[in-house]
Structure 1
Amino acid sequence: MAQSLYFRLLVIALCSLSECIQHRYHYININKTWTEAQRYCRENYTDLVSVNNINDMNELKKTVNNSQKVWIGLKRTDEWKWSLGDPVKYLNWETEPSTDTNNCAVMRNGSWHQQNCNVNMRFICYNNSSKSYIIDTSNKTWREAQSFCRQYHTDLISLRNQTENQLIHNIINDPHTSVWIGLFRDSWEWSDYSDSTFRYWDSGQPNNHDDSEDCTVVRMWDQGQWHDVSCSDSNTFVCHLFVFIVCSDELILIQKNLSWTEAVRYYRENHVDLVSVDSQEIQLMVTEVLHQASTAEVWLGLRLSCSVVIWFWVNGEITCYQNLAPGNETAVDDCEREVRSGAVQSGGDHLWISLPESHTLNFICTRKEI
């Protein structure tokens, strides 16, 4: 139910995001710190409000009285992330990154270096369909390179371990050449983890006065301009609630962490079912939405029958097409301890793996039989 949404919720569909969901804004006339406001919104709505464009900003102005100053969901962060969405577990900096404005990463002579994102240089794309790496010798900024890779391949490369790092180092084969990789640092992040880059800062903002202003308020009396302030300040705030709109007959991914059985119940109440992947075509469709997952694995509609040692789909079909990772074909010993269900890796080769159904993950569903 909408009122019980505690976890962050984000719908990613194979169509324009603005066509799939709408925001409903709720002004909360209670003074709280930013963290308290975030907790309140997650418990009672979806999250603190995200503002993705000027239309959202205008809608926010309509929701809140002009005399108010309100929290929104934007908070400062210094986290490094992979463009492809892989978890950052392996790092290979030549020197530890500083807190300057060089928020993108290049590889040079096998090591990583901070770089201004607006510099033009070569880059490497990853193509998931062919499992290949493509060096592009045209010079682009990091954002331009990211857009190019996403349009013509899959994304800028992720280097998740020493083996992949050495492989790319060998491909470049030039100790003096720097190339963009998919690692970047976003100085500001939305509470619901949406990837909007829209900002509406007032002149001179954000200024991080006394190095203590990491949260964002909107001054409604000042044309809705944004200011960075201390997160411990006390302000009223705006929550938002996602409302689903049917826009596609294909797949959607939900960034809501549930157990496998909870995910099955959620889908049957709201959509159709957890996805059954019975062909290479559907596996490729699944791969497309996995880039937006917030968990390392994502539930499929796949379950293991311990009695007959067969994987089957929630639609009743036995798995003929399989993409199981080695060692996950039966998992009988594990199954005797706890019921097992099937998930797909959100990164890497997107293989299927066996997990206890009590794990809480994102999940993928279908809107109709495909």
Structure 2
Amino acid sequence: MNLQITVKMILVMFLLCSGLSDFTFGSNRLRVFRFPDNENEPDWDGALSECNKANESFVTLYDEEDANFVANFSDGKQRLWLGLRKGRNITWSDGVPVTFNATYEIEKAGTQICVAIDNNTWTSLNCSERKPFMCNKDGNYTLYEDEKNWCKALQYCRHFSADLVSISNESQNDEVIKKGNNTSFWIGLMHDEWEWADKSCSLYRNWDTESALLDPIEKCTISTALGLLKNQECPNSQAFSFCSKGKTRIRVIDHHLTWERAFDYCKANHTGMLQIENENDQKAVEQWLNNTDVTGPFWIGLRQSRVFGFWIWRDRTVTYSKWKNGTEPKLPMSNHCGAINQTEWSDEHCWRRLPFLCEEKIIFMN
């Protein structure tokens, strides 16, 4: 057995034993989108049923990038059912029943607000505000001073198998306040009369003008041709079904950076630089890039060992590939960092400045 194969086997065994490699065989890791194969326009429940039959759910929008993708992908369809429906009210992120409530004011009924502790008292704030936050892991409270919005704070806690802190009684409240050390920080309580069908954490609420002024009793939501959210009656309205599956978002970052700086940016702001682990991942990336307004090529989290020559992701070796011309770049002629255009991979000089792709795990409310 030659040295290169031996080293590669050792690396694979290390990754498996370290627990870093979360292999997925055949399932959809990255989000992929689909219109059911019919031209019907059912009501909200009928459309959701069409998605569920394929083990999918309605599409959730997380930001303007998602809304722009939907507008490009919709192919002229004017009205698409989304997963946002009026129904939930108040919840702790870890699913603990709300049995203790300190006094605080909610500015406007129907708005999405999150709760922070500020000056040792509870206060309601816009969930998009960036604040420090407190995580709870097995009764151990940790205050993080990095400022994040509420969903990003929850995502950070979950990354360490923790959750935003929940409070069940007065003594626990006193302990959390003490641990907060007079800092203003997020706790795990959210008020929201709307929830997404897949139970994910999204702060996106770009209502059209009419819907923003309404206080509906029972409403569902469509996406308009302009990417705005619009209230609709659930049983008495029709729109196209729009389905998705996958638990990791693709993020297109239109900053031109070297590979290493792009890698650091993804790690600091998202889950990491994008990996394409199988054919399903590749199809999801192609679908997204075909509907983005940013021009590639894009850095992905692919690099080559300059000693042994094999290509690796951040936590595994490459087992699926789609290299340009079907040929894997080899030492000594290859560049050492990987990029993708709309469909194919290429080796590029690592100091070249390119836009890049990150991935971000979706966080779900318990």
> Which TM-score band applies after superposition, normalised by the shorter structure?
0.3 to 0.5
Higher strand share: 1
The normalised TM-score by structure 2 is 0.47
The normalised TM-score by structure 1 is 0.46
